[in-house]
Structure 1
């Protein structure tokens, strides 16, 4: 099964103007930490603007429990989560199940917001990619070391590029969390992270017109 736009992400940057289009919102609620100001936390809820919260305060269902040095503790979806600046958490169903529902943009691409090892990442669903693929900047932001992985060569539209194979502790999108997911890091930047088959093979995939539903299998 291959969806429009897959396997074409190594072309010129002008080909990716569609990335500015917003993906359909996921059912789960997301909170990110933009900064810490004394005893206050600047929270980003569901992609909105940063808002200041004090300990004990609840914003749109997200409760700030504590501010501790360089991190905060929040309660989202009934669960406590620790966040550092730049990290995001998703409040959703238990990790043992769940599904992701995405709606295609005007060009038939499926985009999703998620996290890798607790850090926010924007994905393009790409069944032409063997694994999750990350550009150099995204990998550094997540804290992944190119030099620590298994080196290899990947063939792209722009020729051969050197990549490094790593294993991700957690990948979370909406209500779904997978552990131990294979990924490749590219030496150069990519316009967007690719949600490849190392994630998608562990899902049931159903395409119904402009809607794609992914349900966790294992």
Structure 2
């Protein structure tokens, strides 16, 4: 029987055997062994929950300033990752995703999975050819209703969607160009909101 979870079950059994062997070798009492097992079980549960919900935890940490993304006023700051890139915690139509910010990309790009999860309609999108590092691929044009990074929000943002992107989602220049400014200082990407529209509306009221 080919059970896709069989390797995981075998792994857990092996870990349990190793832990029990180590505890037995120390000749602990039954109570001490039981307490140790409960402790390991607690640690394993915490680790499993953290891995299984890593995207939600990442977004929560960013909102309260504990992650690599922080918000102060209207300004959003994103620290450079160890891979040299800037990764943002983003909400696309209310769906959380971790997206690469690439100033070299003209248009924001979504994977097929992200587009489906966020309800981005590509049924009427016109096909377009894109030149990538892996050659020319076919994608479809689409529109994101709302996209939020920190306190920065934009709507009706054009995007391209293709299964050829794999699991990668990219924020392109069409989003960055809507900001008031963006810059990199000492390994931190600083995104500033566009306040010109607010100033125009205030002047109209006066």
TM-score band w.r.t. shorter chain: 0.5 to 0.7
Contact 2:147 2:154 in 1 (8 A): yes
Q: Say whether residues 1:171 and 2:147 are aligned partners.
A: yes
Match of 1:110 among 76, 86, 106: 86
CA distance in 2, matches of 1:124, 1:159: 20
CA distance in 1, matches of 2:55, 2:178: 26
TM-score (ref. length: structure 1): 0.54
Return the offset for 1:46. 8.5
Contact 1:161 1:187 in 2 (8 A): no
Q: Secondary structure at the match of 2:117?
A: helix
Taking only aligned residues, the RMSD between alpha carbons, in angstroms, comes to 2.8
Higher percent of residues as strand: 1
Return the offset for 1:45. 11
Number of equivalent positions: 133
Contact 1:154 1:160 in 2 (8 A): yes
Contact 1:134 1:190 in 2 (8 A): no
The match for 1:158 is 134
Contact 1:137 1:189 in 2 (8 A): no
CA distance in 2, matches of 1:189, 1:140: 14
Q: Secondary structure at the match of 1:48?
A: helix
The match for 1:129 is 105
Return the offset for 1:192. 2.1
Q: Secondary structure at the match of 2:115?
A: helix
**What CA deviation, in whole Å up to 9, does each residue of 1:74-131 have, x standing for no partner?**
xx99xxxxxxxxxxxxxx89xxx82210000123211111111111111111011111
Contact 2:90 2:150 in 1 (8 A): yes
Higher percent of residues as helix: 2
Would you identify which runs of 4 or more consecutive aligned residues in structure 1 move more than 3 Å?
A: 44-49
> What residue ranges of structure 2 are gaps of 5+ in the alignment?
1-52, 65-70, 198-206
> What residue ranges of structure 1 are gaps of 5+ in the alignment?
1-43, 50-59, 61-75, 78-91
CA distance in 2, matches of 1:101, 1:48: 18
CA distance in 1, matches of 2:142, 2:110: 10
Q: Say whether residues 1:208 and 2:188 are aligned partners.
A: no
The match for 1:185 is 161
Return the offset for 1:178. 0.6
CA distance in 1, matches of 2:124, 2:81: 36
Contact 1:123 1:194 in 2 (8 A): yes
Return the offset for 1:145. 3.2
